[in-house]
A and B are shown apart, each in its own frame.
Chain A
Amino acid sequence: MDRNDDPSASAAIDQHVQQPYKYGWSTDIESDLAPRGLNEDIIRLISEKKNEPEWMLEWRLKAFERWLTMKEPSWANIRYDPIDYQAIHYYAAPKQQKKLESLDEVDPKLIETFEKLGIPLEEQKRLTGVAVDAVFDSVSVATTFKAELAKHGVIFLPISEAIVEHPELVEKYLGSVVPRTDNFFAALNSAVFTDGSFVFVPKGVRCPLELSTYFRINATSTGQFERTLIVAEEGSHVSYLEGCSAPMRDENQLHAAVVELVALDDAQIKYSTIQNWYPGDETGSGGIYNFVTKRGRCAGRNSKISWTQVETGSAITWKYPSCMLEGDNSVGEFYSVAVTNNHQQADTGTKMVHMGKDTKSTIISKGISAGRSQNTYRGQVKIMKGAENARNYSQCDSMLIGDQCGAHTFPYIDVRNSTAIMEHEATTSKVGEDQIFYCQQRGLSEEDAVSLIVNGFCKEVFRELPMEFAVEATRLLGVSLEGSVG
């Protein structure tokens, strides 16, 4: 008999589907808030606040014009009430008196906020070998190790500062991977993006530190629209990590980000995400709507872009970090763990577009669903005509905890060159009562048993994370699933 179908077991699971969100508090700080709603004046206001050059404003306005004609996509396997784009504040910033010259002048409340999130901004308390850009609502409040990085020629700046200080670099690459009209959410972001990080690693430089941005939403009824741009010149290497969280609120807050990566000849970019936005409560009320466009261009020969993501938060996730493999012999990788619990919905995956010869891509996706959540993997592998000898390996594994959640897999494969070699593997498994019982019989608590089983399932992805964060990811997974099994 299949004991997993026992109704009493699922009732017990139900009873346990509850877990506190650790980062749900908010910071009481006066903020400089734009009026609700979206129109040209708001965009001009944002551009003015950031002291942007005229071309940037033009760029935004063109994006806005196009956005007005675009329709919100409806193909994803997610359900939500219509978003009222006029009810959102598009700019919120903690009030500060003057331009900051050093970290000492940052409002102690903000320092404290990030400290509480485990992101120390004071350099003496730094995470070993990690430089941090801290983004609070619409602005970057601090960036550590700027000077140290500058010695190596590495630029690591809030993108708003980069637009002012390095306009030629930003203008050259912004929108070169994700055009401002790429999709509904990317166009919205292009019109109203407020902050995010800019990274430039010059030719031949191995970035000496891990770079990391931490995004925090604080103000109510605001959206966060960050934009990240990373450019790795010939032969350079960089590893970047983003983390995020938000207060517990019963409203849904919109987060629509765009991330663009450019890797030139022989360059490597490793981009890791630990996404822990507020997922909503156990009844499905509140939580972040996370609509994100992430794309990397392997523009040069032998270049490599690797995406690793651990997604545990957000009420809704719509996100497909992708690689455009243009350079011959370039490599794209996607390693993903997506955990959904309670009423969370995730539709996530990747796109690998092979254009260059001898290009390779690897996709390892692990979806874990608990509670009443829905977890969808959506992936596309496209081999273009000129991509001789392209190779792809895809592996999509789903794990179900309880019997009221769903796992869905939509792989799209489009091969236009007969020399391509494609491999695809998919499995679905269930964390069974018998597996948990086996662990318990050896002396492990029920919670440790689930955590052990899930971590084993995700191992191939976790080993891709930078070491400093692998431990964090393992822990986060335990918290997200706490009490999800009866």
Chain B
Amino acid sequence: MLEIRNLHAGVDGVEILNGVNLSVNAGEVHAIMGPNGSGKSTLAQVLAGHPTYEITQGTVSFEGQDLLEMGPDERAIAGLFLAFQYPVEIRGITNGYFLQSAMNSIRKARGQEELDTLDFAELLEEKLKEIGWDDSLIHRAVNEGFSGGEKKRNEILQLAVLEPKLAVLDETDSGLDIDAVRSVAEAVNRFRSDERAFVVVTHYQRILDYLTPDHVHVLSKGQVAKSGGKELALELEAKGYDWLREEAPVG
């Protein structure tokens, strides 16, 4: 589904990603871990097409398409979703209206019929029921005055509604207490399927207790320094990241 080959990217001439390689297949959950400044969040932003980052080398293909040639909205339409580390506020626009606009924009681009307000409300209610959350966030302006936990939950709700093929979660667990981490992780688990892949960027191992990744990758100095199974995450939790800096990059 996703093939990253020798990806180099940076800001203002400073290279942050320094030759990343990664393959993600449908149905898999990959965890990306690493110390602060290793390039984890940059990787997430680059995959979604944030205009600040300059790609200097390498290729990324998504479902056979050249991802780097696509605009951020085209990537969303193709089925790539990013749960933001810092979700943005939009004044005066309710969450429900925002989601409906987003969904219809995607449906229109895919040649599907747009949903009217009633149909959309029904779909939304269904999704909320599925993850067991109430509709308290729906009628408020997008992320405006939301607590940290509400913002992260809102990202997962958007994921649930937009049903992407590939979801990239950028430190969705950071700043959350343990109950909130569990609640978010459980919601994500509900949307795991054979057709959908997840890339979970995280600093801590604890969300992986609930998410059980198929693969764990450690990013260091803008490269994948080590890859392994879920036991690698536990090892990192115990030993920290320092020992990795001695090892040669893989891939």
Contacts and interface: CB of A to CB of B under 8 A. Distances in A.
Interface of A: 1, 3, 6, 9, 429, 432-435, 437-446, 448, 452-453, 455-460
A457 B101 contact: no
Given A3-B52, A456-B141, 8 more contacts: A429-B91, A433-B52, A437-B72, A438-B90, A442-B162, A448-B101, A452-B93, A453-B91
Contacts of B200: none
B93 A444 contact: no
A443 B77 contact: yes
A141 to B, nearest CB: 39
A345 B189 CA distance: 54
Interface in B79-111: 81-82, 84, 87-93, 98-99, 101-103, 105-106, 109
B102 A444 contact: yes
30 contacts: A3-B52, A6-B52, A9-B51, A433-B52, A435-B89, A435-B90, A438-B87, A438-B88, A438-B90, A439-B90, A439-B102, A440-B73, A441-B48, A441-B73, A441-B75, A442-B98, A442-B99, A442-B102, A444-B105, A446-B71, A452-B101, A453-B90, A453-B91, A453-B93, A455-B93, A456-B91, A456-B93, A459-B91, A459-B93, A460-B92
Given A433-B51, A433-B52, A437-B50, A445 B87 contact: no
B201 to A, nearest CB: 15
B92 A443 contact: no
Nearest to B106: A443
Interface string B138-172: 00010000000000000000100010000000000
B76 interface: yes
Contacts of A446: 71, 73
Contacts of A442: 76, 98-99, 102, 105, 158, 162
A448 B105 contact: yes
A335 to B, nearest CB: 14
A435 B11 CA distance: 19
A440 B92 contact: no
A137 to B, nearest CB: 39
A354 B144 CA distance: 35
Nearest to A12: B51
A445 B73 contact: yes
Contacts of A441: 48-49, 72-73, 75-76, 81-82, 84
A443 B162 contact: yes
Interface centre among A3, A6, A444, A458 (most CB of B within 10 A): A444
A429 B84 CA distance: 21
Contact of A457 (B11, B76, B77, B91): B91
Interface centre among B48, B73, B87, B93 (most CB of A within 10 A): B73
B98 A452 contact: yes
A435 B72 CA distance: 13
Most buried by B among A441, A448, A452, A459: A441
Contact of A456 (B50, B87, B92, B162): B92
Given A435-B90, A438-B84, A453-B90, A443 B98 contact: no
A437 B84 CA distance: 11
Contact of A445 (B92, B99, B105, B158): B105
A456 B90 contact: yes
A158 B32 CA distance: 72
B109 A434 contact: no
A485 to B, nearest CB: 11
Most-contacted residue by chain A among B52, B87, B158 (CB, 10 A): B52
Interface in B173-222: none
Nearest to B109: A443
A113 to B, nearest CB: 35
User: Which of B75, B92, B109 has the most chain A CB atoms inside 10 A of its CB?
Assistant: B92
Contact of B72 (A6, A440, A459): A440
9 interchain residue pairs of minimum CB distance: A456-B92, A459-B92, A442-B102, A456-B93, A443-B106, A440-B72, A443-B76, A438-B88, A440-B73
A443 B93 contact: no
A432 B90 CA distance: 11
A439 to B, nearest CB: 8
A280 to B, nearest CB: 29
A444 B88 CA distance: 15
A13 B99 CA distance: 27
A3 B49 CA distance: 15
B153 to A, nearest CB: 16
A402 to B, nearest CB: 14
Interface in B39-66: 48-52
A90 to B, nearest CB: 43
A244 B76 CA distance: 40
A457 B89 CA distance: 11
A466 B209 CA distance: 55
Given A452-B98, A456-B141, A457-B92, A444 B73 contact: yes
B26 to A, nearest CB: 20
Contacts of A457: 91-92
Contacts of A443: 73, 76-77, 102-103, 105-106, 109, 162
Nearest to A399: B91
Nearest to B82: A441
Contacts of A456: 90-93, 141
Contacts of A6: 52
B40 to A, nearest CB: 17
Contact of A452 (B48, B90, B158): B90
Given A443-B109, A445-B105, A455 B92 contact: yes
Contact of A440 (B71, B81, B93, B141): B71
Contacts of B89: 435
Nearest to B107: A443
A457 B93 CA distance: 8
A442 B80 CA distance: 9
A429 B52 CA distance: 20
Nearest to A3: B52
B74 to A, nearest CB: 9
A433 B88 CA distance: 11
A459 B81 CA distance: 28
A415 to B, nearest CB: 30
A435 B88 contact: yes
A434 B158 CA distance: 17
Nearest to A456: B92
Contacts of A429: 91
A18 B98 CA distance: 27
B247 to A, nearest CB: 31
A453 B11 CA distance: 26
Nearest to A366: B92
Contacts of B106: 443
